[in-house]
């Protein structure tokens, strides 16, 4: 009962609560982003949140999968965007693992793998991935470990395919047919300029690059003023991408190896190569190399001019003109290589000698010979003489053969 004489108090009502900003977000159904970020489950997408039943929890994965299928198949580009955005989260949510290896049958295109000396299985595994051959950087190595394989990898460049399985990549590396190599055939008796052209042709390297590579002998530890005689004759195999400098170095190194095997001191290398280069150009048969070397040594010891046509031709630029005979102009030309004019050895080598010529220069045969002439250019038969008369008789024999065999290089 109200106090007397007073105004009745107002009827009190409980204060209204103002919902905080974001409350509607908390109580509203979850969206797709919530599903993949963990703020909501598959049960909250499109429904008010409530504790899911066990049955619904079991169906959670299938609901997510259905959503992905609908998005990708029914929405087209929009679904692809969703997958690109949330694909990793879907895999994690579903417990899916991305395969570490490519499936069989996907190999395509071409990829080059370079294996360096000392590369381990792990290193090669990484290189395969970087070249686009394998799907992950470790799948190749893991395959080797799991299968307990320890293959002997040969250094080189191999042609493989992109998107190969690890096992297919290993088989391809072990197949010699996939080894990529360029072959350069360098014959005996060639000059530096001829070798440069051969390297350019065989390795498809610009001629200017090869000419630049042979310009400075000191780059290869050679003290001479030219690499003439230092580019060893052989058949070389080079990996794709080999530079002119690398090719030239391989040839110089091979010459050094031959000189070392023949027991030539460093201080005597240029002299031996000079003698060997003459032997290489003059002798026709291997057995005669050592006799020609003896003729050179005997004439030098007697103070005689060597009078080797090969030196006159080199100094005058007549080499490889199809004839063994020198022109009168070449024989008379005063240059430091023409042994018809100078006494002693020419200024330097006149060609690239091989192993036999180098060995012959170091180990000449025993004998008194001062002359020789090849009397049959087809067979290489050569007559060695001690006196002028013997030599003139041999020269007459050569002229007779030339008369009977015109256009044969006489």
What pLDDT is recorded for position 410? 87
Asked if 108-180 and 182-261 have one fold, the answer is yes
Token duo for residue 360: 């012959």
Which of the four pLDDT bands, split at 50, 70 and 90, describes residue 23?
Answer: very low
Cα–Cα dist 359/356, whole Å: 5
Mean pLDDT over each residue of the chain, to the nearest integer: 85
- Mean pLDDT throughout 56-77? 53
Hey, what CATH topology would domain 182-261 get?
Dna Ligase; domain 1 (3.30.1490)
With 50 as the cut, is the pLDDT of residue 325 above it?
yes
- Mean pLDDT throughout 311-315? 96
What pLDDT is recorded for position 407? 86
* Domain spans in the chain, listed from the N-terminal domain onward: 27-94, 108-180, 182-261, 266-404
- Coil, strand, or helix at residue 98? coil
Token duo for residue 143: 């395959």
Nearest to 395 by CA among 374, 378, 409: 374
Tell me the pTM. Answer: 0.69
Cα–Cα dist 265/154, whole Å: 34
Cα–Cα dist 183/204, whole Å: 11
What pLDDT is recorded for position 51? 55
What pLDDT is recorded for position 323? 75
With 90 as the cut, is the pLDDT of residue 297 above it?
yes
CB neighbour class for 310 (10 Å; exposed up to 12, middle 13-18, buried from 19)? buried
Q: Which CATH architecture has domain 108-180?
A: 2-Layer Sandwich (3.30)
Those residues whose C-beta lies under 8 Å from the C-beta of residue 21, and which sit 6 or more positions away, are: none
Token duo for residue 263: 């027991």
Those residues whose C-beta lies under 8 Å from the C-beta of residue 36, and which sit 6 or more positions away, are: 86, 89, 90, 93
Which of the four pLDDT bands, split at 50, 70 and 90, describes residue 11?
Answer: very low
Dihedral angle computed from the Cα positions of residues 359, 362, 366 and 369, in that order, rounded to the nearest 10 degrees: 100
With 50 as the cut, is the pLDDT of residue 36 above it?
no
What pLDDT is recorded for position 3? 43
What pLDDT is recorded for position 97? 72
CA end-to-end distance (rounded Å), the chain: 152
Nearest to 310 by CA among 302, 301, 300, 320: 320
Cα–Cα dist 397/61, whole Å: 101
With 90 as the cut, is the pLDDT of residue 43 above it?
no
Q: What is the pLDDT of residues 220-279, one digit of tens each?
A: 999 999 999 999 999 999 999 899 999 999 999 999 999 999 999 999 999 999 999 999
What pLDDT is recorded for position 246? 97
With 60 as the cut, is the pLDDT of residue 67 above it?
no
């Amino acid at each position: 009962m109200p106090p007397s004489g007073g105004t009745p108090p107002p009827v009190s009502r409980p204060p209204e609560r103002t919902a905080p900003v974001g409350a509607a977000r908390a109580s509203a159904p979850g969206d797709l982003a919530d599903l993949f970020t963990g703020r909501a489950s598959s049960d909250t997408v499109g429904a008010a949140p409530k504790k899911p039943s066990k049955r619904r929890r079991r169906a959670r994965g299938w609901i997510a999968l259905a959503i992905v299928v609908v998005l990708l198949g029914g929405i087209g580009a929009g679904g692809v965007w969703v997958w690109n955005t949330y694909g990793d989260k879907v895999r994690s949510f579903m417990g899916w693992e991305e395969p570490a290896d490519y499936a069989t049958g996907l190999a395509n295109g071409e990829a080059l793998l370079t294996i360096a000396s000392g590369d381990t299985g792990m290193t090669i595994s990484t290189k395969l991935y970087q070249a686009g051959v394998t799907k992950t950087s470790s799948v190749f190595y893991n395959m080797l470990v799991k299968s307990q394989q320890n293959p002997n990898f040969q250094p080189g460049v191999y042609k493989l395919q992109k998107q190969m399985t690890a096992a297919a990549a290993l088989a391809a590396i072990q197949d010699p047919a996939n080894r990529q190599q360029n072959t350069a055939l360098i014959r005996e008796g060639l000059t530096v300029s001829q070798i440069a052209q051969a390297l350019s042709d065989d390795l498809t390297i610009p001629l200017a690059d090869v000419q630049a590579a042979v310009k400075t002998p000191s780059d290869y530890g050679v003290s001479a003023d030219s690499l003439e005689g230092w580019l060893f004759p052989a058949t070389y195999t080079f990996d794709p991408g080999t530079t002119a400098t690398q090719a030239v170095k391989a040839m110089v190194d091979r010459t050094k190896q031959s000189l070392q095997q023949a027991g030539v001191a460093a201080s005597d290398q240029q002299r031996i190569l000079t003698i060997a280069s003459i032997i290489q150009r003059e002798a026709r048969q291997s057995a005669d190399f050592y006799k020609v070397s003896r003729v050179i040594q005997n004439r030098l010891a007697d103070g005689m001019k060597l009078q080797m046509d090969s030196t006159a031709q080199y100094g005058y630029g007549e080499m490889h003109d199809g004839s063994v005979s020198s022109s009168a102009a070449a024989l008379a030309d005063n240059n430091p290589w023409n042994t018809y004019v100078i006494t002693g050895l020419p200024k330097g080598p006149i060609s690239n000698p091989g192993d036999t010529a180098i060995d012959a220069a170091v180990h000449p045969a025993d004998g008194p010979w001062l002359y020789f002439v090849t009397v049959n250019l087809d067979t290489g038969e050569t007559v060695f003489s001690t006196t002028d008369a013997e030599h003139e008789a041999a020269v007459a024999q050569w002229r007779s053969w030339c008369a009977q065999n015109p256009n044969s290089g006489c």
